[in-house]
Structure 1
Amino acid sequence: MAINSLPRASLPHRLSRPFSCALLIAACGVWIVESSHVKPASAVSAPLASVSSVSAGLGFTCAVSDGGVKCWGKNDAGQLGNGSTTSSTYPVQVTGLTSGVSSVAAGKDFACAVMLDATVRCWGLNASGQFGSGDTVSSTVPVDIGISDVSAIAAGTNSTCFIVSGAVQCAGANTNGQLGDGTLNANPSPIDTGLTGATSISVGDEFSCAVVSGGAKCWGRNNRRQIGSNTATNPIKSPTNVYGLTSGISSVTTGAQHGCASLSSGAMKCWGFNTNGQIGDGSVVQRATPVSVFASGVTAISARENSTCAVVSGAAQCWGANTWGQVGDGSTSARNVPTSVTSLTSGVTNIANGYEHACAVTSAAQVQCWGSQSDGAVGNAVPMFRDVPRAATGIASGATALSAGKEHTCAVVSGAAQCWGNNAFGQLGNNSTIPRSSAVQVQGLTSGVTAIAAGEAHSCAVVSGGAQCWGRNNFGQLGNSLNINSSVPVEVTGLGSGVVDISVGSNFSCALLSGGGVRCWGYGGAGQLGDGNGTSSNLPTTVSVG
């Protein structure tokens, strides 16, 4: 369905949500990929497929997956775009953007998407007018900012730039001239920089760069020589040529105070601040003009904060600050030369560097992330460090479906239900409340299971066309007319044998029926049951799907 206009939502706006961690089904069984926010992790998989674009912000990530946008990680300003301010360790659907999206750009605590019809939607923090919507109203869901003919967008700390019919326009804060209009005046509406013929654009921390007619130009703050023009003037309020890069430039990318460019020859050059080695020339010396990093082979580049990443001959390489393992080499030591990301030495098509983490898109159209797991930025719910996948004990093969709850996981294995993890409320369904580190059989569900879902502390399954749930039931999320926990499966009342799929949130559950109807039950205080009442129910209620 085409979305032409989406409603604004004021902050905060909270909704209950499901939980998940990154899980993979391999030929040899089930694998869990884990990561940490205190140690570096090698590349770990976020549960996404058919990814065409990815962008990383401050503690959060967004990706275009199957034509829609999903985000995960930090969400204090609504930057995940799902109508909530609750952080998520797994990808959540951005409200209204299920299809028709061309690309996505994540800023510090906001994000924008370019639609296939060349319009733009933005969400998150808008205190500086960085949406370009003409106001400073923040939103936890995407809003149409009212411009068209947009081919590219770049989101920075508190400003945004757009390529509109080849012309560069910018909006937001302008403390150091980062809007490029020759003034220091902020503007919540896109204003012209005077540049035309632009093909690439990037916004850093109070400075911006673009590729115009094959040459690189930058403007804004220049305290660390991040403009690259070999001048000490600060700020530079109008676009200025980057020294020596007047032709043959394919793309530009900007970190907090440094910039990089890829050349049509496959070479890469960087300039600006270098205290963490983010320039990649083997030194920590600030560079007022571009220096060579690669002579050939570069197909994608991404700089952010104090680190840089590139795809070189199909491999992911990163360098610079590494406090959170964002270089991806299994260490936390800063690197002043390009360093291979563990396990991503081939098949990488794109890369996105965040403030403290990074993500790559592989040739299989999957996302892999590494670095800080603060607020779930790398897309894994398990807060332990593992630099390689670890097999789930007790499941050698036969897994066809998986679901991960807050602290437990369930799988359909050869038609049976098996679970493991926290069991304080009986959410493993084995007539016990003892936690299990290996898979256990859910009592009575040894065959006929076609779907399974794990919530915060309860689980549900589709069994021979009916629905059964077990675990915590304080809000009626088991759907059996009671509010009593159960450590074994109980039948959901009134659904019969026409259930085709099931999904659970933190404390509520929903079932899809064969006729296309939807029934939900459990906690409904934020309207998540969809019945228009805003109250909880311990029996299935009909969702008004329009």
Structure 2
Amino acid sequence: MAVHRNILVFSLVLLAPILAGIARTSTAATIAAGGYHTCAIGEAAGEMRCWGSGSYGKLANGSGPELDRAAPVAISSPIARWRSVAVGDSHACAIAASGAVYCWGYNGFGQLGDGTSITRPAPVAVVGLGSGVAQLSVGLNHSCALMHSGKVNCWGAGEFGRLGSGQVANQTTPGEVLTLTGAISVGAGAYHTCAAINDGSVKCWGRNGSGQIGDGSAVNRLTPVFTSITIAATEVAIGGYHGCARSAAGAVQCWGYNADGELGNGTTATSTVAVNVEGLASGATRLAAGIYHSCALTAGDILKCWGYNGYGQIGDGATGPAVVRPTSVVNLPIPVAEVTAGNDHTCVRASGNRIQCWGRALHGRTGVGNTATSPGYAQRPLAVSGLPAPAVKLSLRTNNACAVTVIGSASCWGNNESGQIGDGLALPHATFVYQAGPRDVADLSSGVRDIATGDLHACALKTNGTVWCWGSNIYGQLGDQTAIARRTPVQVIGIVNAVQIAAGIGFSCARTAVGGVWCWGFNTNGQLGNGTNTHSLQAVPAIGLGQDIVDLSLGNAFACAVRNDGKVLCWGSNTRGQLGDGTATARNVPTLVNDNFGIYAGIATGGEFSCGLTSAGQAKCWGYNDVGQLGDGSLMQRSTPAGVATLSSGVARLAAGQYHACALLSSGQLKCWGYNANYQLGDGTLVNRTQPVPAANVSGSIHSLALSGQSSCVVLADESSRCWGLNSAGQLGNGSIAANFAVPQEIAQWLRDDLIFRDDFEP
């Protein structure tokens, strides 16, 4: 395996038609992947959005902090319509609808072409090109423009002769490549450049240490020289240290660096002359080259890639060693119109303006709401972003979250290993895929009134009283009378009049309009409450509740319910005293909590503890207390209710997570206690608290709150949602998390508006 440098490259970008006889599947290069970011142009409106690394202003946001973006953001420019874009390592260039060329980003070598070396966070006009540009290509620190005249102009870093000027000096404005005429396609690599000529030949210039010039030598070239190709080239795609060419008949040849299979000839031997790519003697319709991998779109819209696959950029569902011959990309929409390859990721544009990316997600370059630049936690509340409408209810579990919106739709995000996001995403075997931005749950775009997340599944309650579940189903926790996992919702059999739902680890329950409770799924500890310890694939009634139930909550392996007379009954696992009956004995039928004087209005269960809200506004908790989750000032386990310190009155609402709890006071203040290793208490520290402390960074009136394993969320009165705490699986929904993708994934919320890009991750 080669040692891989953290540099660049850049896709070939085409504006067609350039010359007659060159077939194109799209009329413009409207998507381009670079070293650490990606840009695309809307097909209908011609507006441009970029995502990924924001350093050096390469997302062109104009000003302000250079933030990474895990979903498309609009560039800052008075130019309303764009035709073509090319993206490099730390800069980008584009052709406006008027034909003028603009560049932005890092400019230390003059690669923006504006006559300066000043870095620009917004597009600036390239000097002297006019409107005669047919195609752009951007390399590591240089840029090139193919003119309609067949000439090529380059600017930026001149090291190794990559500008074709006969010199190695940098140029801050475009200069004509010497001795080159009749060019029909151009590609810029890390330190070299190539062009296809209208007589079928290919000429290259610049660095040649890996044979990337393709002339049979390892000698750097300051001006263009012929490569050794034996096909009549109509297109070139130039990677970091290799190059490829395609003929009109679809034959593909490559040359140069090959330690990772970049040449696709079944070997890892570097070649200073062009070699045939296996299986591509004909039929290729489009090429793309990244720094260490290559791709070809073939007849029938089959995309094949080869080369380095350490981050899944080949798209075959695997990661690992070199892929030395073309391999089909899986999970693609058809037809594919464009393909582009960046440093360690690949993207396509398919029918319906759908854009899918795969490979390395660092800095958010794949655009699916994932980036590794943020830590695995949030110290302060961050906006949940990308929802189709404001949330009215949130539900959290350790690695997942779901929301019901004001329009009655359901969205989920976080860990999706069992399909618990419910968007129908087909995952590669044994690959954990995290979604750090909300995804629409399939078939639940309206009519949802309640939602609940379990450990690997989720359930939604519709306004018609039916319950629908999705995700893992090993124990029947989806209630559809099967043990088959579902990536989209299925209806729970026999529940038609539910008014509340709850989910635990491997089991689910619903409260009905007539006051009963029905449960299904895992039952080893009696958590279904039906007097047995047998798992159930369908809903069964919890027995012996006595009167109508007015509230319901599930812990890891137990359940609690509030009766209309104010009494609390719990059942299931009781190893930590979480049932509150004064014992540590598991119960497979509901059992009264031992609090003769307590009249309760609500219940909130954590992992292995419970908290109740009395009708007088007092908070009481019982069960496990190893990190202060009972809030009574001690670390003593309690098998009967104990008052939470300082909360003897004035509590309006309670919520419990795996190891912490929070109370919303009638004054509007939020107080939390318990485990705090990931800032989930919101007090700005990492100190566990045995008594309630104010959540310091939550501003505005709180409408509702929800807690998970080590995270917390609120919905504010202005209908915005804020989350803080652990974010290791994207469960905060703010577009941050580290996750690579070995198969194509659609970029975050791309089609919320028809053919219009949206900035889904802006607060």
Shorter-normalised TM range: 0.5 to 0.7
User: Which residue type is aligned with residue 252 of structure 1?
Assistant: V
Distance in 1 separating the partners of 2:267 and 2:439: 49
User: Which residue type is aligned with residue 158 of structure 1?
Assistant: N
User: Which residue type is aligned with residue 307 of structure 2?
Assistant: G
2:358 to 357, 370, 375: 370
Structure 2 residue 490 is the aligned partner of structure 1 residue 490: no
Deviation at 1:226, TM superposition (A): 0.6
Whether contact under 8 Å (1:171, 1:179) holds in the other structure is: yes
Whether contact under 8 Å (1:409, 1:420) holds in the other structure is: no
Whether contact under 8 Å (2:110, 2:156) holds in the other structure is: yes
- Relative distance call for 1:145 and 1:316 in structure 2 (3 A) is same
Structure 2 residue 242 is the aligned partner of structure 1 residue 238: no
What residue number does 2:73 align with? 92
Distance in 2 separating the partners of 1:285 and 1:124: 36
User: Which residue type is aligned with residue 93 of structure 1?
Assistant: A
Distance in 1 separating the partners of 2:193 and 2:713: 57
Structure 2 residue 313 is the aligned partner of structure 1 residue 326: yes
Spell out the pairing of 1:33-432 with structure 2 (5 A cutoff): 53-66=30-43, 67-83=46-62, 84-96=65-77, 99-146=80-127, 147-149=129-131, 150-166=133-149, 167-194=151-178, 195-213=180-198, 214-232=200-218, 234-245=219-230, 248-293=232-277, 294-313=280-299, 314-331=301-318, 332-344=320-332, 346-382=334-370, 409=438, 413-414=445-446
SS in 2 for 1:133: coil
Deviations, residues 506-543 of structure 1 (Å, cap 9, x unaligned): 9xxxxxxxxxxxxxxxxxxxxx99xxxxxxxxxxxxxx
User: Which residue type is aligned with residue 57 of structure 1?
Assistant: G
- Relative distance call for 1:222 and 1:432 in structure 2 (3 A) is farther
Distance in 2 separating the partners of 1:295 and 1:238: 30
The number of residue pairs the alignment matches comes to 395
Whether contact under 8 Å (1:51, 1:361) holds in the other structure is: no
User: Which residue type is aligned with residue 130 of structure 1?
Assistant: Q
Deviation at 1:285, TM superposition (A): 1.1
User: Which residue type is aligned with residue 285 of structure 2?
Assistant: T
Distance in 2 separating the partners of 1:418 and 1:97: 44
Whether contact under 8 Å (2:41, 2:47) holds in the other structure is: yes
Whether contact under 8 Å (1:51, 1:367) holds in the other structure is: no
SS in 1 for 2:250: coil
Deviation at 1:132, TM superposition (A): 1.2
Distance in 2 separating the partners of 1:70 and 1:418: 35
Deviation at 1:124, TM superposition (A): 1.0
User: Which residue type is aligned with residue 349 of structure 1?
Assistant: A
- Relative distance call for 1:87 and 1:264 in structure 2 (3 A) is same
User: Which residue type is aligned with residue 316 of structure 1?
Assistant: L
Question: What are the ranges of 5 or more consecutive residues in structure 1 without an aligned counterpart?
Answer: 1-49, 385-390, 423-429, 437-456, 458-471, 493-503, 507-527, 530-546
- Relative distance call for 1:315 and 1:477 in structure 2 (3 A) is farther
Deviations, residues 108-158 of structure 1 (Å, cap 9, x unaligned): 111111112111121111111111111111111111223322221100000
Distance in 1 separating the partners of 2:445 and 2:410: 8
- Relative distance call for 1:60 and 1:490 in structure 2 (3 A) is same
Give the CA RMSD over aligned residues.
3.7
SS in 1 for 2:363: helix
- Relative distance call for 1:212 and 1:407 in structure 2 (3 A) is closer
TM-score (norm 1): 0.65
User: Which residue type is aligned with residue 49 of structure 2?
Assistant: K
SS in 1 for 2:160: coil
User: Which residue type is aligned with residue 314 of structure 2?
Assistant: V
Spell out the pairing of 1:438-453 with structure 2 (5 A cutoff): none
Deviations, residues 225-272 of structure 1 (Å, cap 9, x unaligned): 11111233x210101111135x73211011111000011111111011
The one of the two structures with greater contact order (alpha-carbon pairs below 8 A, sep at least 6) is: 1
Distance in 2 separating the partners of 1:177 and 1:488: 58
- Relative distance call for 1:394 and 1:85 in structure 2 (3 A) is closer
- Relative distance call for 1:383 and 1:258 in structure 2 (3 A) is closer
- Relative distance call for 1:261 and 1:417 in structure 2 (3 A) is farther
Deviation at 1:491, TM superposition (A): 5.3
Distance in 2 separating the partners of 1:154 and 1:268: 20
Distance in 2 separating the partners of 1:104 and 1:183: 27
Distance in 1 separating the partners of 2:252 and 2:713: 60
Distance in 2 separating the partners of 1:340 and 1:263: 20
Distance in 2 separating the partners of 1:279 and 1:136: 35
Deviation at 1:189, TM superposition (A): 0.8
Whether contact under 8 Å (1:148, 1:164) holds in the other structure is: no
User: Which residue type is aligned with residue 322 of structure 2?
Assistant: A
User: Which residue type is aligned with residue 249 of structure 1?
Assistant: A
- Relative distance call for 1:382 and 1:118 in structure 2 (3 A) is closer
SS in 1 for 2:211: coil
Percent sequence identity is 31
SS in 2 for 1:270: strand
Distance in 1 separating the partners of 2:48 and 2:138: 16
Whether contact under 8 Å (1:122, 1:144) holds in the other structure is: yes
Whether contact under 8 Å (1:69, 1:98) holds in the other structure is: no
Whether contact under 8 Å (2:237, 2:289) holds in the other structure is: yes
User: Which residue type is aligned with residue 136 of structure 2?
Assistant: I
TM-score (norm 2): 0.47
Whether contact under 8 Å (1:182, 1:237) holds in the other structure is: yes
Question: What are the ranges of 5 or more consecutive residues in structure 2 without an aligned counterpart?
Answer: 1-26, 373-399, 415-434, 455-651, 659-679, 681-694, 704-711, 720-732, 736-761
Deviations, residues 346-398 of structure 1 (Å, cap 9, x unaligned): 522211111111111113321111110101111122579xxxxxx99899xx9
Whether contact under 8 Å (2:254, 2:274) holds in the other structure is: yes
What residue number does 2:419 align with? none
